[in-house]
Amino acid sequence: MIGRAAQRRLTTAEEDAASAALRATEASGETRRLRRALDVLPEGVIVCDEDGHVLYRNRTAQGLVEARGADVLVAKAVDELLERARVGVPYDRTVELFGPPARTLVIDAQPITGGTVAVIRDVTERRQLDAVRRDFVANVSHELRTPVGALSVLAEALADEDDPAVIRRLAARVTAEVDRAERMIADLLDLSRIESEGEGALAVVAVDDIVSAACERAAPRSAARGVPIVPGGAEPGLAVVGRRSELVSAVANLLENAVSYSDEGTSVDVVARADGDWVDFVVRDEGIGVPGRDLERIFERFYRVDRARSRDTGGSGLGLSIVRHVAHNHGGTVTVVSREGEGSTFVLRIPRSAG
């Protein structure tokens, strides 16, 4: 028979074993949960022991350091930084991969208790956004410098002028430059609002209302340049799904662009037509047209086919960019067919309302 003391020791041992097994099970469960959590991270994570042996790579890291092509550079950089971190000093490095596709990775290696850890972050998109932001600020500064500089010169000329006729002429120039600056600021505000995916919910909007409002908005530019806008009829009851203010802005920008690049005495036609599940807003002019080399770039911010003429017309260089963003926000497209010296046809395609 087993004595009571031995029985107690046996019971204690069994309880300890059961407790250890429970802790091991819980630790195993925690480890599995941790691995699953790390696997869904967009950053790559690599954990090594104190001898530099890899204990764990999450799914992202596995894809980044597999030795294929440019990924060899990533694997090599990770190994070097982890080796340096083993001495207790954190290291980081930026690795440029020229692709295709081009990528920028930041690798950060840190010492931890009993080993090291490396985190790999793909900062390609952030770098691209930073570059776009810098270019945008530079372009805005450059474009606003023109009217502001002209206003400064005109103000100095007015201060020293006594001839009423000259004063009236200079005052008219001041007004024109102020109008140019105001249009640019208004376009910048429109672009900022539209780029943020628009404001307000989508609704059913009558097509003839959009065309009428756009023509009214473009009328001052049309009258000033002597280029009439000729609206075509739309199918009765034809409607689209969208935000009225954005759609009016897009069609008006197409009209103002067509007027600005047309010669006096020509005309600009605008028509809306149904095409299956879509409505096409078609703006056609008889202007200077777009060279083939520029067709892919005319929807970029501040891009101008003819910079000298754009300055004469007071354009901001943002109109077609606004049109592109409105099309994107509505799940539509904008296209152009043009021949230099013969005019252009722009088509803004927006989903049709089923109602």
What are 308-346's pLDDT values in tens digits?
Answer: 445 555 556 777 888 888 888 888 999 998 888 888 999
Please count the other Cβ atoms lying within 10 Å of the Cβ belonging to residue 155: 11
Higher-confidence position of 154 and 26: 154
Which residues are CB-neighbours of 41 under 8 A, at least 6 positions away?
Answer: 58, 60
Query: What is the percentage of the chain residues whose pLDDT exceeds 90?
Result: 13
pLDDT score, position 268: 92
| Same domain for 216 and 189 | no
CATH number of the domain enclosing 344 = 3.30.565.10
Count of structural domains, the chain? 4
Tens-place pLDDT, residues 94-149: 888 776 677 888 888 888 888 888 888 888 888 777 776 676 666 666 667 777 77
DSSP string, 246-291: HHHHHHHHHHHHHHHTS-TT--EEEEEEEETTEEEEEEEE-SS---
| Same domain for 355 and 310 | yes
- The yes-or-no verdict on residue 24 having pLDDT over 80 is no
| Same domain for 250 and 327 | yes
Burial of 10-22, coded b for 16+ CB within 10 Å and e otherwise, reads: eeeeeeeeeeeee
Higher-confidence position of 11 and 91: 91
| Same domain for 47 and 103 | yes
> Does residue 130 sit within a domain?
no
DSSP string, 229-249: EEEPP--TT-EEEE-HHHHHH
> Does residue 131 sit within a domain?
no
Higher-confidence position of 24 and 352: 352
Chain mean pLDDT for the chain? 78
Phi, psi angle pair for 345, to nearest 5°: -130, 115
Tens-place pLDDT, residues 182-228: 777 776 677 666 766 555 678 898 999 999 999 998 898 888 888 99
CATH number of the domain enclosing 166 = 1.10.287.130
Phi, psi angle pair for 88, to nearest 5°: 100, 10
216: containing domain: 202-355
> Does residue 210 sit within a domain?
yes
> Does residue 266 sit within a domain?
yes
Phi, psi angle pair for 263, to nearest 5°: -85, 150
pLDDT score, position 149: 78
| Same domain for 65 and 24 | no
Burial class (CB in 10 A: 0-12, 13-18, 19+), 161: middle
The C-alpha atoms of residue 77 and residue 31 are separated, in whole angstroms, by 27
> Does residue 47 sit within a domain?
yes
Angle at 194 between CA 189 and CA 199, to 5 degrees: 105
The C-alpha atoms of residue 79 and residue 114 are separated, in whole angstroms, by 17
> Does residue 129 sit within a domain?
no
**If we measure between CA atoms, which residue out of 244, 256, 248 comes closest to residue 179?**
256
| Same domain for 351 and 242 | yes
| Same domain for 147 and 103 | no
Tens-place pLDDT, residues 269-294: 999 998 889 999 999 998 888 877 77
Residue at a domain's end among 174, 196, 218: 196
| Same domain for 222 and 75 | no
DSSP H helices, 58-163, are 59-65, 71-85, 124-159
CATH number of the domain enclosing 100 = 3.30.450.20
| Same domain for 289 and 158 | no
| Same domain for 176 and 206 | no
The C-alpha atoms of residue 118 and residue 187 are separated, in whole angstroms, by 46
Burial of 164-187, coded b for 16+ CB within 10 Å and e otherwise, reads: eeeeeebeebbeebeebbebbeeb
Residue at a domain's end among 196, 215, 247: 196
| Same domain for 313 and 214 | yes
Tens-place pLDDT, residues 144-156: 777 777 778 888 8
| Same domain for 354 and 209 | yes
Phi, psi angle pair for 95, to nearest 5°: -115, 125
Please count the other Cβ atoms lying within 10 Å of the Cβ belonging to residue 115: 18
Q: What is the CA radius of gyration of the chain?
A: 33
> Does residue 295 sit within a domain?
yes
